[in-house]
Amino acid sequence: MGKRRQTQETVLQFLAEHLGPVLIKSLGITLRVTQVGLEHITAARAAAGNIIIAIWHGGLLPLAYVHRNEGISVLVSTHQDGEYIARVIHGLGFGTSRGSSTRGGIRALRELIQADNNRLDLGITPDGPRGPREKVQPGVIYLAKRLGLPVIPIGVSSRPSLRLKSWDRFMIPLPFARCTVVYGKPLRFESSLSKESIDLAGAELESRLSEVTREADNGCGYQRG
Protein backbone atom coordinates (compact mmCIF):
# COMPACT_ATOMS: atom_id res chain seq x y z
CA MET A 1 0.00 0.00 0.00
CA GLY A 2 1.41 3.40 -1.01
CA LYS A 3 1.93 6.12 1.54
CA ARG A 4 -0.81 8.28 0.06
CA ARG A 5 -3.34 5.46 0.14
CA GLN A 6 -2.30 4.53 3.66
CA THR A 7 -2.93 8.11 4.75
CA GLN A 8 -6.37 8.05 3.12
CA GLU A 9 -7.26 4.81 4.89
CA THR A 10 -6.15 6.27 8.22
CA VAL A 11 -8.34 9.33 7.69
CA LEU A 12 -11.35 7.21 6.68
CA GLN A 13 -10.92 4.96 9.70
CA PHE A 14 -10.71 8.00 11.99
CA LEU A 15 -13.89 9.43 10.48
CA ALA A 16 -15.68 6.10 10.78
CA GLU A 17 -14.71 5.77 14.43
CA HIS A 18 -15.46 9.32 15.56
CA LEU A 19 -17.99 10.72 13.10
CA GLY A 20 -19.94 7.61 12.10
CA PRO A 21 -21.59 6.95 15.50
CA VAL A 22 -22.52 10.62 15.85
CA LEU A 23 -24.20 10.67 12.44
CA ILE A 24 -26.14 7.47 13.11
CA LYS A 25 -27.35 8.70 16.51
CA SER A 26 -28.32 12.06 15.02
CA LEU A 27 -30.30 10.33 12.28
CA GLY A 28 -31.73 7.74 14.63
CA ILE A 29 -33.38 10.20 17.00
CA THR A 30 -35.46 11.52 14.10
CA LEU A 31 -36.77 8.10 13.04
CA ARG A 32 -40.30 6.99 13.87
CA VAL A 33 -39.47 3.44 14.94
CA THR A 34 -42.11 0.73 15.41
CA GLN A 35 -41.01 -2.61 16.89
CA VAL A 36 -43.24 -5.62 16.26
CA GLY A 37 -42.81 -8.94 18.08
CA LEU A 38 -40.28 -7.66 20.57
CA GLU A 39 -41.67 -10.17 23.07
CA HIS A 40 -40.01 -12.96 21.07
CA ILE A 41 -36.53 -11.60 21.68
CA THR A 42 -37.31 -10.89 25.34
CA ALA A 43 -38.66 -14.41 25.95
CA ALA A 44 -35.77 -16.07 24.10
CA ARG A 45 -33.22 -14.16 26.16
CA ALA A 46 -35.00 -15.13 29.36
CA ALA A 47 -35.08 -18.81 28.39
CA ALA A 48 -31.63 -19.22 26.85
CA GLY A 49 -29.58 -16.49 28.53
CA ASN A 50 -28.36 -15.18 25.20
CA ILE A 51 -29.36 -15.51 21.56
CA ILE A 52 -28.24 -15.22 17.96
CA ILE A 53 -29.74 -12.31 16.03
CA ALA A 54 -29.94 -12.82 12.25
CA ILE A 55 -30.49 -9.86 9.92
CA TRP A 56 -29.88 -9.19 6.24
CA HIS A 57 -26.72 -7.19 5.56
CA GLY A 58 -28.66 -4.36 3.91
CA GLY A 59 -30.55 -3.54 7.11
CA LEU A 60 -27.53 -2.98 9.36
CA LEU A 61 -27.73 0.79 9.71
CA PRO A 62 -31.15 1.26 11.39
CA LEU A 63 -30.66 -1.80 13.57
CA ALA A 64 -27.29 -0.48 14.73
CA TYR A 65 -29.20 2.48 16.15
CA VAL A 66 -32.18 0.56 17.53
CA HIS A 67 -30.00 -2.00 19.36
CA ARG A 68 -27.12 0.25 20.38
CA ASN A 69 -25.50 -0.21 23.80
CA GLU A 70 -26.92 -3.71 24.33
CA GLY A 71 -23.50 -5.39 24.34
CA ILE A 72 -24.22 -7.47 21.24
CA SER A 73 -21.16 -9.05 19.61
CA VAL A 74 -21.39 -8.74 15.82
CA LEU A 75 -19.58 -10.81 13.20
CA VAL A 76 -17.83 -8.32 10.90
CA SER A 77 -15.88 -9.03 7.71
CA THR A 78 -12.09 -8.82 7.62
CA HIS A 79 -12.37 -6.83 4.39
CA GLN A 80 -11.57 -3.11 4.49
CA ASP A 81 -15.24 -2.13 4.50
CA GLY A 82 -15.60 -4.40 7.53
CA GLU A 83 -12.96 -2.30 9.30
CA TYR A 84 -15.08 0.81 8.78
CA ILE A 85 -18.21 -0.98 10.03
CA ALA A 86 -16.36 -2.28 13.10
CA ARG A 87 -15.15 1.20 14.04
CA VAL A 88 -18.62 2.69 13.66
CA ILE A 89 -20.47 0.08 15.67
CA HIS A 90 -17.88 0.05 18.45
CA GLY A 91 -18.93 3.64 19.02
CA LEU A 92 -22.53 2.45 19.32
CA GLY A 93 -21.76 -0.05 22.07
CA PHE A 94 -21.31 -3.25 20.03
CA GLY A 95 -18.51 -5.76 20.26
CA THR A 96 -17.08 -7.36 17.13
CA SER A 97 -15.66 -10.66 15.98
CA ARG A 98 -13.69 -10.43 12.74
CA GLY A 99 -14.11 -13.04 10.04
CA SER A 100 -16.39 -14.41 7.33
CA SER A 101 -17.18 -17.52 5.37
CA THR A 102 -14.14 -16.85 3.19
CA ARG A 103 -11.52 -15.27 5.46
CA GLY A 104 -10.76 -15.59 9.16
CA GLY A 105 -13.63 -18.00 9.77
CA ILE A 106 -11.93 -20.11 12.46
CA ARG A 107 -10.77 -17.05 14.41
CA ALA A 108 -14.23 -15.51 14.20
CA LEU A 109 -15.84 -18.74 15.41
CA ARG A 110 -13.54 -18.82 18.44
CA GLU A 111 -14.34 -15.18 19.25
CA LEU A 112 -18.07 -15.80 18.94
CA ILE A 113 -17.83 -18.86 21.19
CA GLN A 114 -15.99 -16.71 23.74
CA ALA A 115 -18.74 -14.10 23.46
CA ASP A 116 -21.27 -16.87 24.10
CA ASN A 117 -19.29 -17.93 27.18
CA ASN A 118 -19.68 -14.35 28.38
CA ARG A 119 -23.45 -14.65 27.77
CA LEU A 120 -23.48 -11.98 25.07
CA ASP A 121 -26.00 -11.92 22.25
CA LEU A 122 -24.43 -12.65 18.86
CA GLY A 123 -25.36 -10.67 15.75
CA ILE A 124 -24.82 -12.18 12.28
CA THR A 125 -25.72 -11.15 8.73
CA PRO A 126 -26.25 -14.57 7.09
CA ASP A 127 -25.82 -13.15 3.57
CA GLY A 128 -22.63 -11.21 4.36
CA PRO A 129 -20.05 -10.08 3.70
CA ARG A 130 -20.36 -10.29 -0.10
CA GLY A 131 -23.66 -12.00 -0.85
CA PRO A 132 -25.53 -13.35 -2.63
CA ARG A 133 -28.08 -10.87 -1.30
CA GLU A 134 -30.66 -12.30 1.10
CA LYS A 135 -29.32 -15.84 0.76
CA VAL A 136 -28.37 -17.63 3.99
CA GLN A 137 -24.81 -18.93 4.15
CA PRO A 138 -24.18 -21.99 6.37
CA GLY A 139 -22.00 -20.27 9.00
CA VAL A 140 -24.89 -18.98 11.12
CA ILE A 141 -26.52 -22.42 11.13
CA TYR A 142 -23.30 -24.14 12.15
CA LEU A 143 -22.86 -21.64 14.98
CA ALA A 144 -26.45 -22.03 16.22
CA LYS A 145 -26.12 -25.81 16.24
CA ARG A 146 -22.67 -25.72 17.82
CA LEU A 147 -23.78 -23.42 20.66
CA GLY A 148 -27.37 -24.61 21.00
CA LEU A 149 -28.70 -21.04 20.89
CA PRO A 150 -32.03 -19.87 19.46
CA VAL A 151 -31.91 -17.71 16.35
CA ILE A 152 -34.16 -14.65 16.11
CA PRO A 153 -34.81 -13.55 12.51
CA ILE A 154 -35.21 -9.78 12.30
CA GLY A 155 -36.65 -7.82 9.38
CA VAL A 156 -36.24 -4.07 9.04
CA SER A 157 -37.47 -1.54 6.52
CA SER A 158 -37.89 2.21 6.30
CA ARG A 159 -39.64 4.80 4.15
CA PRO A 160 -38.49 7.12 2.74
CA SER A 161 -34.98 5.72 2.42
CA LEU A 162 -32.06 5.44 0.07
CA ARG A 163 -31.32 1.95 -1.25
CA LEU A 164 -27.77 1.93 -2.55
CA LYS A 165 -26.78 0.09 -5.71
CA SER A 166 -24.41 -2.12 -3.74
CA TRP A 167 -24.73 -5.92 -3.72
CA ASP A 168 -26.88 -5.77 -0.55
CA ARG A 169 -28.99 -2.74 -1.57
CA PHE A 170 -27.81 -1.11 1.65
CA MET A 171 -30.63 0.88 3.25
CA ILE A 172 -30.16 4.42 4.57
CA PRO A 173 -33.33 5.85 6.17
CA LEU A 174 -33.89 9.52 5.47
CA PRO A 175 -34.47 11.88 8.42
CA PHE A 176 -37.91 11.46 10.04
CA ALA A 177 -38.56 8.24 8.08
CA ARG A 178 -40.93 5.55 9.32
CA CYS A 179 -38.88 2.52 10.36
CA THR A 180 -40.42 -0.86 11.17
CA VAL A 181 -38.51 -3.65 12.90
CA VAL A 182 -40.13 -7.09 13.00
CA TYR A 183 -38.84 -9.82 15.34
CA GLY A 184 -39.71 -13.37 14.32
CA LYS A 185 -40.29 -16.30 16.62
CA PRO A 186 -37.07 -18.00 17.77
CA LEU A 187 -35.76 -20.85 15.67
CA ARG A 188 -34.05 -23.78 17.36
CA PHE A 189 -32.08 -26.32 15.38
CA GLU A 190 -31.10 -29.88 16.27
CA SER A 191 -27.40 -30.41 16.96
CA SER A 192 -26.72 -32.56 13.86
CA LEU A 193 -23.99 -31.04 11.66
CA SER A 194 -24.74 -33.16 8.59
CA LYS A 195 -24.86 -31.25 5.31
CA GLU A 196 -28.52 -32.15 4.82
CA SER A 197 -29.43 -30.87 8.29
CA ILE A 198 -27.52 -27.60 7.79
CA ASP A 199 -29.08 -27.07 4.35
CA LEU A 200 -32.61 -27.63 5.69
CA ALA A 201 -32.04 -25.30 8.63
CA GLY A 202 -30.59 -22.66 6.30
CA ALA A 203 -33.64 -22.84 4.04
CA GLU A 204 -35.92 -22.43 7.06
CA LEU A 205 -34.03 -19.39 8.34
CA GLU A 206 -33.98 -17.84 4.87
CA SER A 207 -37.74 -18.28 4.57
CA ARG A 208 -38.36 -16.71 7.99
CA LEU A 209 -36.04 -13.78 7.27
CA SER A 210 -37.86 -13.13 4.00
CA GLU A 211 -41.17 -13.28 5.87
CA VAL A 212 -40.26 -10.77 8.57
CA THR A 213 -38.66 -8.48 5.97
CA ARG A 214 -41.93 -8.44 3.99
CA GLU A 215 -43.79 -7.64 7.20
CA ALA A 216 -41.40 -4.77 7.87
CA ASP A 217 -41.86 -3.46 4.32
CA ASN A 218 -45.64 -3.57 4.76
CA GLY A 219 -45.41 -1.92 8.16
CA CYS A 220 -43.71 1.21 6.86
CA GLY A 221 -45.38 1.22 3.45
CA TYR A 222 -42.29 0.42 1.39
CA GLN A 223 -42.85 -1.31 -1.94
CA ARG A 224 -39.97 -3.24 -3.46
CA GLY A 225 -39.29 -2.68 -7.13
Confidence at 131, pLDDT banded by 50, 70, 90: confident
In a domain, 29, yes or no: yes
Whether residue 116 is predicted with pLDDT greater than 70 in this model: the reply is: no
> How many independent structural domains does the chain possess?
1
Task: With 0.95 as the threshold, say if the pTM is over it.
Answer: no
**Helix H or strand E encompassing 74:** strand 73-76
In a domain, 126, yes or no: yes
Confidence at 103, pLDDT banded by 50, 70, 90: very low
H helices within 76-194, ranges in order?
A: 80-90, 105-117, 139-147
Q: In this structure, what CATH number is given to the domain that contains residue 168?
A: 3.40.1130.10
- Note the pLDDT tens digit of each residue in 78-95: 776 778 888 999 999 999
186 residue type, one letter: P
In a domain, 225, yes or no: no
Sheet containing strand 95-98, edge to edge, reads 32-36, 171-183, 151-163, 52-55, 122-124, 73-76, 95-98
Mean pLDDT, residues 30-56 taken together: 95
Q: Which pLDDT score is estimated for 102?
A: 46
